[in-house]
Amino acid sequence: MKNIQKKLVFIILTLLGLVGVSCQDLLVEAPKSIAVETFYNTASEVESAVNAVYEPLRATNNISGQLGAQLEAYTDYSYGRGSYGVLSDFQGLNSTNIPRTDEGWRLFYLSIRNANLVIQNAPNGSSISSADIKKYVAEAKFLRAFNYFWLVRNWGGVPIRTEATLNEPNIKRNSVEEVYTLIVNDLKEAEANLPDKPAQIGRVTKWAAKAALAEVYFTRNQYAEARDKADEIIKSGQFSLVPVTVASDFEKVFGPTVINTPEEIWYLKMTRQNAQGMYLAMFAHHPGSRLHGAGGFYAHYSDSQANLVQKNWESGDLRKSAFWYAWNIGLGANSVLCKKFSDPLAPTSTGAGNDFPIYRYADILLLYAEAASRAGNGPTPAALEALNQVHRRAYGQPATTASPVDFKLTDFTASTFNDQVIKERGYETQYEAKRWLDLKRLGIPELKRRIKEATGKDVADKHLFWPIPNGELNFNTALDASKDQNPGY
C-alpha cells in the first residue's frame, strides 16, 4: 500500500515536473513576451514552473546519480572501481570523468536558469495572489541557493547568474565570498516566506531553509550561527529519528517503499518509474547480490580489513551490517559493498525507488553537536545529547532515553569530542554524497591528513576543485581560460 501511495505522489509530481519542462522549452524557443504573457499568470502555472527547477536536481547525472558517484569515490571509507577507480587516487580528474562533472555544471545552471525565470516573472502574474507569489519566489530562491552551494563547494568561485542577467551569456567569474553572499540572502528570504509544511511531499519548507542555512554556516566555520539554526530545528519538535532495534530496521529510513518519515527535512523524491529513480543505487551493488533489480555496477567498494574506517567500526553498531555486505568482486574475500540504498524490484538502472536524503534529522543533530562544541570551545550537555541520540539509534537503543552506549562529557576534550562527531557523521551519512564535502570544510591540511590515514593516499591540490567546463570558457567571453580555470587543468 505504501509503495502505491508513493507512486501516486510521484506520478503527480512527475507530471507537474513534465509540464514545467515543456514550458521551459517554450520559454527557450518562444519570444520572451509571449512566454511571460501566456504562462506565469496563475498559481498552478507558476507551481509548474517551480517544478522545473527541481527536475535537473533529480536527473540521473546529478547528485543522486553520476555526480554523487564522483564524490563517493573520494571518501575515507570506500574506493572507486572501473572508470571511477582513478578518482580514489586523489590526483584529479581524467578525460573520462571531466565530462561527468561538466554535466553536473550544466544541470546546476539549468536549475538556476529555471529558478531565475520564476523569480523574474511570477511577481507579474495577472491571476495569482501576493501570498502565492511570495511562496513560489521563496521556493525558487531556496533552490537557486542550493544549486550555487553545490557549485561553490566543488568549483570554487563561479559566474553568478540571476534574474537580472537572465539574457546575458557573458558573466565574469565571481568570488567565493560573492557566491556565498547570494546563497545566504536567498536562503534567508526562503526561510521567511516558505511554508511550515510542504503542500506536496518533496517540496521545500522553512525547515529545509533553516537546515540549508545551518549547513552553509557550518561550511563557513560560522559555528555559533550554525548551532543556533540547527537548534531551531531541534527545538521545533517537528522531527525525530526513526526507531531502530535491528539492522534491517534501517530500511524504514532508506528503503525503496518509504514515502515519508519524521526524520525527513528535505529529500529528493524518487520513484521506480524509468528515469525517475535514484541512479546512485545502481553504482553500489553487484548483480549477483540481487539487491538491485537491474543488477549493479559495483563501482564503489571497500575493504573490511585494509580500510581503517571499516576495520575500526564496532560490530555492535547496526549501521555496519545495515549499510555494508561482504562480496568478493575479484579483489579478495575482504571486499564489501554498500547496501544502504537497495531496491530488488528496481526495473531499470535509473529506477530505484529509494529517495535521496538532502537534509535529515540525524545529520542536523550531528551538525548541532559539532557546531555547539566548536562555538563553545568544548562539548555542552546539549551537544552531547545530540550526539548520543544518533549513537543510541545506531546501537538499537531508543534515541531519546539514556542508555548503556551513551558517551559522557568526562570522556572528551574539545578536540576529541569534535573528532568523535566527525567519525559519527562518517558512519551516518555514507553514500549520501556528503563525506568529501564534510572533510573539505575542515580545511585542506585536515582533509589530506584524514584521507592519508584512512587510505594511504596523498591528495593532490588539483583534486580539490573540479575544472571549469571548456564549454563555459569557450563561449562565455567574460572568462579568461588562462586565469579562470581551476589549478591543474
What amino acid occupies position 181? T
3 state SS of 244: coil
Residue pair 45/51 in contact by the 8 Å Cβ criterion: no
Percent of the chain with pLDDT over 70: 92
Per-residue pLDDT, 266:
98
| For residue 120, pLDDT beyond 50 | yes
Per-residue pLDDT, 38:
66
Percent of the chain with pLDDT over 90: 90
- Long-range CB contact pairs, 218-224, < 8 A, 24+: 218/367, 218/370, 218/371, 218/441, 219/153, 219/437, 219/441, 220/180, 221/374, 221/441, 223/370, 223/371, 223/372, 223/374, 223/375, 224/371, 224/375
**Among 128-132, 271-275, 388-392, which stretch is predicted with the lowest mean pLDDT?**
271-275
Per-residue pLDDT, 15:
35
| For residue 152, pLDDT beyond 60 | yes
| Residue recorded with cell 551537544 | 383
Q: How confident is the model at residue 458 (pLDDT cuts 50, 70, 90)?
A: very high
Tell me the C-alpha distance between 83 and 81, whole Å.
6
For residue range 172-225, list pLDDT tens digits in order. 999 999 999 999 999 999 999 999 999 999 999 999 999 999 999 999 999 999
Per-residue pLDDT, 137:
98
Domains of the chain, CATH where assigned: 1-78+97-194 (1.25.40.890)
| For residue 36, pLDDT beyond 60 | no
Taking alpha carbons only, the member of 349, 333, 345 closest to residue 284 is 349
Q: How confident is the model at residue 17 (pLDDT cuts 50, 70, 90)?
A: very low
b/e code 328-358 from CB counts within 10 Å (16+ = b): eeeeeeebbbbbbbbbeebebbbbbbbbbbb
Per-residue pLDDT, 274:
77
Per-residue pLDDT, 30:
32
For residue range 343-402, list pLDDT tens digits in order. 999 999 999 999 999 999 999 999 999 999 999 999 999 999 999 999 999 999 999 999
| For residue 424, pLDDT beyond 70 | yes
| For residue 331, pLDDT beyond 70 | yes
pTM: 0.92
| For residue 78, pLDDT beyond 80 | yes
Q: How many CB atoms lie within 10 A of CB 157?
A: 20
